[in-house]
């Protein structure tokens, strides 16, 4: 009797291998093509529903499509919220600000905040500690200035070609409107990027600092704050310390704001996506 292949069910292995690429599959799905960006985005949703692309790919493609209509002014950090350094500030003050904000790059001004004279890399500031005779001015990198209406597509291309990571945004009257980083642009495509302040929830929410203060997540439960620091912050109507603080101030606190509640001093370290990510908390001596 001739040998015959074993068969225990449907012959899935006989299905022809689909060698079409992602772009080819999308092209066939949306043929003859959408008439608008909204229709293209709907087509991407259909592609996800038909298992042609996954949810992450769809979200990224949507970000690319929407970014085509966005400008630097849509994604920038507004001027009042910029962390800037004064060229004439003493070294200890500069170092303290760099540590507190934890950025890697800072616009540096002279005289008025709008008079940006260059960009300082945080790592370059350490050179002054080793060689105090160095001039801070000599450590500055050139500042890149762009108009507020510059398209994000063009800006991303410029960031990549010139290897820049930060640009100062200027409004139509030549005034500083804000700043934008390559991370701000990329987040319009891929969503929020975790940075130096972001940790997994499992890693904890209250961290002791060397100076006797504490770094506290904005979504830390108020009950945990009360238990940890022996205070009595109101728990009715609020779940997190960030929510309570936003209610008390009437707005989402921005970086650098200082507030005092129940004998605790809160400094906003990082605010993103309409919420405070991190506070610096210091018990106030009584």
Residue 22 binned pLDDT confidence (cut-offs 50, 70, 90): low
Residue 114 binned pLDDT confidence (cut-offs 50, 70, 90): very high
E-strand stretches of 53-193: 77-78, 85-86, 105-110, 112-121, 145-147, 166-170, 176-181
Q: Round to the nearest angstrom and report the end-to-end CA distance of the chain.
A: 96
Percentage of the chain surpassing pLDDT 70? Answer: 73
- Element housing 281 (H / E): strand 275-283
**What confidence score (pLDDT) does residue 196 get?**
46
- Say which residue, 14 or 103, is predicted with more confidence: 103
Residue 75 binned pLDDT confidence (cut-offs 50, 70, 90): confident
Unique residue bearing structure tokens 């009257």: 173
Residue 168 binned pLDDT confidence (cut-offs 50, 70, 90): very high
Report CA dihedral (108, 114, 115, 118) to the nearest 10 degrees: 30
Unique residue bearing structure tokens 């979504």: 219
Angle ∠(260,263,268) on CA atoms, nearest 5: 35
- Say which residue, 88 or 80, is predicted with more confidence: 88
What CA–CA distance (Å, rounded) separates 240 from 200?
Answer: 17
**What confidence score (pLDDT) does residue 255 get?**
78
Check: pTM over 0.85? Answer yes or no: no
Residue 20 binned pLDDT confidence (cut-offs 50, 70, 90): low
Cβ distance 57 to 44 under 8 Å? no
The tokens of 259 are what? 């507030």
**What confidence score (pLDDT) does residue 56 get?**
66
């Amino acid at each position: 009797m001739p040998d015959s292949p074993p068969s225990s069910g449907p012959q899935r292995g006989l299905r022809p291998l689909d060698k079409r690429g992602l772009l080819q599959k999308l092209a066939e799905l949306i043929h003859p093509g959408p008439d608008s960006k909204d229709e293209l985005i709907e087509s991407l949703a259909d592609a996800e529903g038909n298992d042609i692309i996954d949810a992450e790919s769809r979200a990224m493609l949507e970000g690319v499509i929407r970014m085509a209509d966005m400008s630097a002014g849509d994604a920038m950090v507004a001027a009042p919220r910029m962390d800037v350094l004064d060229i004439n500030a003493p070294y200890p003050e500069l170092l303290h600000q760099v540590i507190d904000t934890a950025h890697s790059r800072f616009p540096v001004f002279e005289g008025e905040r709008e008079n940006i004279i260059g960009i300082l890399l945080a790592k370059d500031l350490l050179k002054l500690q080793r060689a105090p005779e160095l001039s801070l001015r000599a450590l500055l990198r050139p500042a890149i200035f762009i108009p507020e209406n510059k398209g994000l597509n063009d800006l991303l291309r410029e960031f990549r070609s010139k290897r820049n990571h930060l640009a100062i945004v200027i409004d139509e009257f030549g005034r500083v409107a804000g700043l934008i980083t390559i991370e701000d642009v990329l987040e319009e495509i891929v969503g929020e990027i975790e940075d130096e302040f972001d940790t997994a929830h499992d890693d904890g929410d209250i961290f002791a600092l060397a100076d006797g203060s504490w770094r506290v997540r904005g979504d830390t439960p108020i009950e945990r704050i009360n238990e940890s620091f022996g205070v009595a912050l109101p728990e009715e109507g609020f779940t997190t310390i960030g929510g309570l603080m936003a209610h008390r101030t009437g707005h989402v606190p921005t970086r650098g704001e200082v507030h005092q509640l129940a004998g605790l001093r809160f400094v906003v370290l990082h605010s993103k996506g309409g919420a405070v990510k991190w506070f610096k908390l210091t018990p106030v001596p009584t």
